[in-house]
Structures are given as C-alpha cells and as structure tokens.
Amino acid sequence: MSSTKTKRKTVLMQGNEAIARGALAAGLDFFAGYPITPSTEIAEICSVELPKNNGKFIQMEDEIASISAIIGASLAGAKTMTATSGPGYSLMTEGIGFAKMTETPCVVVNVMRGGPSTGLPTKPSQSDIMQSKWGNHGDAPAIVLYPNSVSESYELSIRAMNLAEKYRTCVVLLSDEVLGHMREPIELPDLSQVRIVKRIKPTKPPEWYQHYPDNPKYPMPKASFGEGYRFHVTGLVHDSKGFPTNRADETAILMERLRNKIIHHMNDIVQLESFQMEDAKVTIFAAGITSRAAKEAVIMARKKGVKVGLLRPLTIWPFPDAAIRKLLGGQETIIVPELNEGQLSREIKRVMGCCWNDNVKTCKHIVQLNKTDGQLITPIEIFNLIKEVI
Amino acid sequence: MKKISQKEIHKYLRHDKKFPHVWCPGCSNGIVLGSTIRAIAELGFKKDNVAMVSGIGCSSRMPVYADFNTLHSLHGRAIAYATGIKMYKPDMEVVVITGDGDGTAIGGNHFIHAARRNIDLTVILINNYIYGMTGGQYSPTTPHGDKSTTTQYGNIDPTFDICKLAIGAGATFVARTSAYHAAESQSFIMQAFKHKGFSLVEIISACPVIYGKLNKKGDAPAMMKLMKENIIPVKQYEKLSQEDRIDKQTRGILFHDTEKMEYTDAYQELIDSINKPEEGSNE
C-alpha cells in the first residue's frame, strides 16, 4: 500500500476476521492456538498474516499448550493472543490464572457457543459470561470485553491488546458464534492514528529492577527475557522481585495489587453505552449480539410511544456496579435478555440490591428473558416482553 | 571436559534470599543443578541469554536458584511455555527442567509434540521414580512392583522408557545418565545444548527420603551406589542376559540425528520465502 493512501477505507469483513485484524493493528506478533469452532478463522488469518511481518504463529497440540505458549512468548517480549471457544476456554483457565498471577500481558478470545460440554458448536450463546470472570481458581480480578458488531470487534480487539499491556494481565475478549461469523461493512481506521500501548523498557540498572513494584503506575516499565534483567516468574505467591514467599505481609501486597489495579482504574476500563435512556421508564440491559435485537425492540417500542431505553456494557468485567446503580436507579422495570440461564441478570439483581431468587419481592422489577436453545433472541420477543411489563 | 571451579559455579547462582534450598537431604537435584551450570559455564553462555523454564515438582524448583531468565510455570506445561519463548526469541538458549511426573504424565502431550516439531529446546528430565513434592505417589516411571503412597500393595503399572518415548516422537538428541555420573551429566547436557533440535537428557536421580525409604533402598550414599551399579553403559547392558537386565538401565547418548530440520529454522525459512521480492517486479 502506498504511503499517500491515508484515507479511511470501508471493507466488508467477518467478525472473527475483525478480531484478528484489530489485534494485528495493535501490534500482535505472536499467536498460538488450537482449532475450535466457531473461532478458527482468527487462527487461520493470523497464520497467514503474522509471518508477513516477522511475527510468529504456531498451532499447538491443545488449548493448554496454546495459552502456555503465548504466556512464554509474552515473557520474551511478544504481544500475544489466542482464540478459542467454550471447551478450549475451560482448558485454558489454569493458564489464564497464571497470566493474571504473574502479571503477564496476553489476550484470550472466546467466541462463545452453546454449552455445557461440546454443546452446540455452531450456535451462538452467551453462557461463558460468568466463566470469563470466575473460570480460574483463586481470587483474580478480570478484564472482559464484549463487542456487538464487526467494527466494534475490531476496535475492542485493539482495546483488549492495549488493556492487557497497560495493566499487565490476561484480558478476555468475548464474542459469539453469530458475531464471529457475520459480515458487515467496517471502516478501517488510519493505522497511524490508532493508539497503541507499547511495552516500556526499564531504565533502572538490573540490580534495582523489580518486576513487581510495590507502588505500581500503569503502564509501567517492564523487562522481557533476554534483556539483561534476569527476573524470576512463578505462579507461587511472590515478592517484588518475583521470588516465592509465604509471608503474610508480602502475600497481602500481591493480592491487593492484583485487585487494586482493576478496581482503581474502573473509569479507564469500563465502557457502557446508553441508548434512549434520558426519559426511559423501562430499560433493557443487554450485551453482545443480544443488544442488537434489544436496540431494534427499543426503536419498535418508541414508535408506539413507549419510553424504553437500552443500556449496554462493552466491558462485562469488572462489572460497572456504581454506574449501573446510578443509571438504572430510577427505572420501573429492567429487562435482561441473554443467551444463557441468567448470568447478566444475576449481576443486575446483585447490583440493584436484591437476591438472585425471582420469588423475592424486591426483585419484581427485574425481568429475565433467557434462551439456551441455540437460537437468537429476536427483537419481537423483547418487544412483546416490553408490552407485557408496562 | 573442562573442570569448573566452585567459584565459577557461584557466578551462576542467585544469592539474594534463595538459600537454603527446598530439597531434602540426599536429593540429587542439587547435583543436577551443578552439572547444568558447569555445562553452561563451559559453553560460555551469557546468563542474559539463557532462559530456564520448569513446571511443578521438586526438580522444577531449580530455576529460582539459577541466575538466568527463569520461569517456574504450571504443572506439566514447561515445554509449552518454553516453546513460546523459543519461537519468539530463537537466539535464546532455552533449557527446560522437569521431572518424571511433570514431564511424562501431566506434560506427556507437550513432551511428544515438542519432540515431533524438533524445536531447539534442551530438556533435562530428572527421573526420581516418584512424585516427591506431594509426598510420594507413583509416577509413570515408578518400577513395576514398587511401593509408593498410592501403590502400597505394589505398583501394577507398566513404566515409560522416557528415552524411547522421545526417540519415537522425533527428538534428535537423546541421552540418559544418572546423578551419580555427574561428569557424564555435564557432558551430555553440554552436547544437548550444542545440538540444534529437541534434546532430552534424562538423569536418573535419588530420592532417599521418600522413594528410597518406601522401597528400602537405603540412605543417600546407598542409593548413589545403586545408581553406580544399575545405570550402565549401553554396551555393557547388551552383554547381560535378560535376567541380569532386571533393575538395570542404560546410559549414554542413545540417539543423535543432525539431519532433521529444526523448527524455528523451518519457521524462519517460511518467513523468508513469503517475504522475498517477487521475480520480475519493477519496484
């Protein structure tokens, strides 16, 4: 491409392709993966594109090896990603915990399909919302993003890579079978204008270098293997230099750091989108593919004069408790449509101060719409529910 | 083979709050660490350019003591982590420290696939016939009939021959020795580093506190003597009758192939081939 061509270009692109191209735009230079429907296009595109720019692609023997290889490469200085779906994500969870514990940047894409187990490999689902936070053992906060269009898949893929780098953690990018496989026109950004978080190299002499500084600022200088710093990395609880410890004070510092780097940066991490919320009495809370049907339902209801709005999280975890409490506080009814048995609605009930059990009186105004038969929730189904609750 | 002084070895150890080490009295892991460092010192590798990766287990605690780029990864996954490092930085010397359980039970899949790819990793597998860290459960190499905390009536499992497994999977440098043969360990590790491709050095080791005790093998010196007597050169082994071969294992370089393409080289060739300018291009 000639350098004078800086005009933004509109192309037809598939959701999975957008994730791959977004990550490449963000500097992805190492991808390890294992084939699984419906995520395979991401690996396929990376296998073609990475070696063109001296990047590396490797198809590993399983998903455990894939997450391990990207963490290894990240420690050696790479910007890394892997992509999978439910069964593979389950296998990766121990590695995801390791990346969080060792504060090693990487991105895991989970193109959700119907579960549990092998489930419905070619059907959409949103049933890994909870797993994306709680999948790994132990307390470790998560950053999880979930787009609702092809162009947003591209944007959030860049954002996932940036957040992973900035906060030194494993960021999960959720998608789903329909989002991953549908095609939409997308306007590609001028790459020179895209904000990329680069890895800052330490300037301290090696003997002063702490891989895990006590008072971190994000982003922070971080050494990679082979750069003269010879630090230690372990999944054991470790001190500021990375060496194992079981001292209570050092353990507390580590656990606090892992927690605080997320909860102290909520404003930076959380993205919420509201639509027609100004005068709404009823609000639909929906994410990902379901939010598109919800938006359509809002438009239909508005035409009938019903005051309905839509609140959509682009960041699923950390869950934006305070913002949601503020935005949904005055609502008579909140409808939560989702392709699972009630994972986002459970959070809404928690945030709005009521028990998850539907029979509890205080929860009357939170209405679930759940579907787990492999079909999408349609605008008309949400519209009909709006009519029912007003 | 060069004699490496104690003083020289200390240059490769971390001295800030890492010692005393976690290993039991009489454990062979320290001897293997010594052989590994001697090999690296003899080769003159820069410490900055060595990555030492391990999984979980007694032997996998080794990297924390060594002054390299060190990664104590997840149980069984050391080779997969090391593959990521080596792929991204092929110029680094990547050595994997693993054990019989970590390397061939939970990590068996990564072991055979890294061997198949012939990626240039140096895998030092310390085989003590048992899971020591968790208190003495049987592993894929616990000899038939032996006792462990989970085979208290005697082990009915057949065992892996780890070297044969590696050769079968496509490894291109395969050697076995024991911790008793520390000089030979140093030599094999050095040759494994020099070899371009997947190298395995299996080092039989003594776990007197758990395996030895459960199987009445005696104390640490007695187990050293057993290794001296039972881990024998291939030629000597071949002369023995079938009956005399029981309890014996071979040592030596069991396989060495310098022809097979190394994986990161193959990937670089791929990069070069797709990026070379098209013929007849006017640009």
Evaluate if residue B24 carries a pLDDT over 50.
Answer: yes
Which domains are seen in chain B, by residue range? 23-274 (3.40.50.970)
Interface check A252 vs B, CB under 8 A: no
Chain-centroid distance, C-alpha A114: 18
Residues A23 and A169 reside in one and the same domain: yes
Chain B residues with CB within 8 Å of chain A CB: 14, 16-18, 47-49, 51, 53, 63-64, 67-74, 77, 80-85, 87-89, 91-92, 109-110, 113, 267, 270-271, 274-275
Strands B69-72 and B122-127: unpaired
> Do residues A42 and A164 both lie within one domain?
yes
Tell me: pLDDT of B77 over 60.
yes
Answer positive or negative: Cα dihedral of B258, B259, B260, B261.
Answer: positive
Q: Is A61–B53 a contact, with Cβ atoms under 8 angstroms apart?
A: no
Cβ of B73 within 8 Å of Cβ of A228? The answer is no
Q: Which two tokens stand for residue B56?
A: 């979980």
Size of interface A-B (CB pairs under 8 A): 136
Is residue A75 within 8 angstroms of chain B, CB to CB?
A: yes
- Residue B190, helix vs strand vs coil: helix
- At residue A7, the pLDDT reads 64
Please state whether beta strands B130-131 and B137-138 pair in parallel, antiparallel, or not at all (unpaired): antiparallel
Domain membership of residue A98 (yes or no) is yes
In angstroms, rounded to a whole number, what is the distance separating the alpha carbons of residues A302 and A280?
10
Task: Choose the closest CB to B71 out of A80, A227, A233.
Answer: A233
Residue B3 has pLDDT above 90, yes or no: no
Q: Is residue A264 part of a domain?
A: no
Which residues of chain B have a CB within 8 Å of the CB of A245? none
Q: Do the Cβ atoms of B59 and B23 come closer than 8 Å? A: no
Q: What is the pLDDT of residue A231?
A: 97
What is the per-residue pLDDT for A364? 63
B63/A232 Cβ within 8 A: yes
**Do the Cβ atoms of B83 and A60 come within 8 Å?**
yes
Q: Is A73 on the interface with B (CB under 8 A)?
A: yes
Q: Which residues contact B170 (CB under 8 A, 6 or more apart)?
A: B115, B116, B117, B118, B198, B260
The answer on A185 and A41 residing in a single domain is yes
Closest Cβ–Cβ partner in A54, A72, A98 for B83 = A72
Residue B211 Cα, gap to closest chain A Cα (Å): 26
Summarize pLDDT for B82-104 with one digit per residue, the tens.
Answer: 999 999 999 999 999 999 999 99
Tally of residues, chain A: 390
Whether residues A184 and A305 share a domain: the answer is no
Tell whether A284 and A184 lie within a shared domain.
no
- The residue among A263, A228, A224, A205 whose CA lies nearest residue A102 is A224
pLDDT over 70 percentage in chain B: 98
Say yes or no for a CB contact (<8 Å) between A233 and B72: yes
User: Both A176 and A315 in a single domain?
Assistant: no
pLDDT, position A355: 52
Of the CA atoms within 13 Å of residue A77, those in its CB half-sphere come to 19
**A56 close to A30: Cβ distance less than 8 angstroms:** yes
Decide: A327 and A272 in contact? Cβ < 8 Å.
yes
Whether the ω angle into residue B63 lies within 30 degrees of 0, i.e. cis, is no
pLDDT digits (tens, 9 = 90+) for A332-376: 899 999 999 999 999 999 998 765 455 544 556 899 999 999 999
User: Which two tokens mark A212?
Assistant: 């895990």
Residues 172-191 of A with CB under 8 A from B: none
Per-residue pLDDT, B118: 98
Averaged pLDDT score across all residues of chain B: 96
Task: Say how far apart CA B166 and CA B151 lie, in whole Å.
Answer: 26
Q: Phi and psi (nearest 5°) for A74?
A: -65, -40
Number of domains in chain A: 2
Residue A52 touches chain B, beta carbons under 8 Å? yes
Of A161, A193, A225, at which residue does a domain stop? A193
Contact indicator for A172, A36 with CB cutoff of 8 Å: no
Please check whether residue A31 lies inside any domain of the structure: yes
Largest CA distance in chain A: 69
- Same domain? For A82 and A187 the reply is yes
Burial of A274 (0-12, 13-18, 19+ CB in 10 A): middle
Residue A283 and residue A179 share a domain: no
In a domain, A207, yes or no: no
Q: Which helix (H) or strand (E) holds B43?
A: helix B29-43
At residue B80's C-alpha, the angle toward residues B75 and B84, to 5°, is 135
On whether the CB atoms of residues B90 and B97 are closer than 8 A, the answer is no
Angle at A92 between CA A89 and CA A95, to 5 degrees: 150
**Where among A193, A211, A227 does a domain terminate?**
A193
Q: What is the CA radius of gyration of chain B?
A: 20
pLDDT value of position A360: 47
Which residues, 6+ apart, have CB-to-CB distance to A235 below 8 Å?
A97, A98, A101, A102, B72, B73, B74
CA distance A243 to chain B (A): 7
CATH of the domain at A51: 3.40.50.970
Taking CB atoms and an 8 Å limit, are B48 and A32 in contact across chains? no
Residue B69, helix vs strand vs coil: strand
What is the C-alpha to C-alpha distance for residues A144 and A149, in angstroms, rounded to an integer? 16
Sequence-ordered alpha helix ranges (H) in chain A: 15-25, 40-49, 63-75, 86-101, 131-134, 150-167, 177-181, 248-263, 266-269, 288-303, 321-328, 344-351, 379-389
pLDDT at A4: 47
Partner B contacted by A46 (CB < 8 A):
no
The answer on A129 and A24 residing in a single domain is: yes
* Among A51, A230, A235, beta carbon nearest to B271: A51
Which candidate, A250, A247, A209, A215, places its Cα nearest to that of A229? A209
Looking at the domain assignment, is residue A143 inside a domain?
Answer: yes
Chain B nearest-CA distance from A179, in A, is: 30
- Picking from B16, B49, B77, the nearest residue to A68 by CB comes out as B77
Interface test with A, best of B85, B92, B269 (most A CBs within 10 A): B85
Q: Which residues of chain A have pLDDT under 50?
A: 1-4, 356, 360-361
Dihedral sign for Cα B208, B105, B88, B116, please: positive
Own/partner long-range contacts of A260-264 (Cβ < 8 Å, ≥24 apart): A261/A141, A261/A167, A261/A168, A261/A169, A261/A216, A261/A218, A262/A141, A262/A142, A262/A143, A262/A167, A262/A169, A262/A318, A263/A141, A263/A318
Q: Domain for residue A245, yes or no?
A: no
Tell me if A302 is assigned to some domain. yes
* CATH code of the domain covering residue A283: 3.40.50.920
Q: Which of B248, B109, B246 has its CA nearest to residue B176? A: B248
pLDDT on residue A3: 46
Q: Are A70 and A181 part of one and the same domain?
A: yes
Task: Establish if A198 belongs to a structural domain.
Answer: no
- In this complex, do A232 and B72 lie within 8 Å of one another by their Cβ atoms? yes
Q: Do A13 and A125 belong to one domain? A: yes
Across the range B175-195, mean pLDDT stands at 98
Same domain, A61 and A185: yes
pLDDT of A267-297, one tens digit each?
A: 999 999 999 999 999 999 999 999 999 999 9
Residues in B closer than 8 angstroms to A32, CB to CB, are 83-84
User: What DSSP string runs through A293-328?
Assistant: HHHHHHHHHHHTT--EEEEEESEEES--HHHHHHHH
Instruction: Mark which of A174, A193, A212 sits at the end of a domain.
Output: A193
Confidence of residue B241 (pLDDT cuts 50, 70, 90): very high
pLDDT for the residue numbered B277: 80
pLDDT at A17: 98
Contacts of residue A54 in chain B, CB cutoff 8 Å? 271
pLDDT value of residue A2: 44
Domain of A43, in residue numbers: 9-193
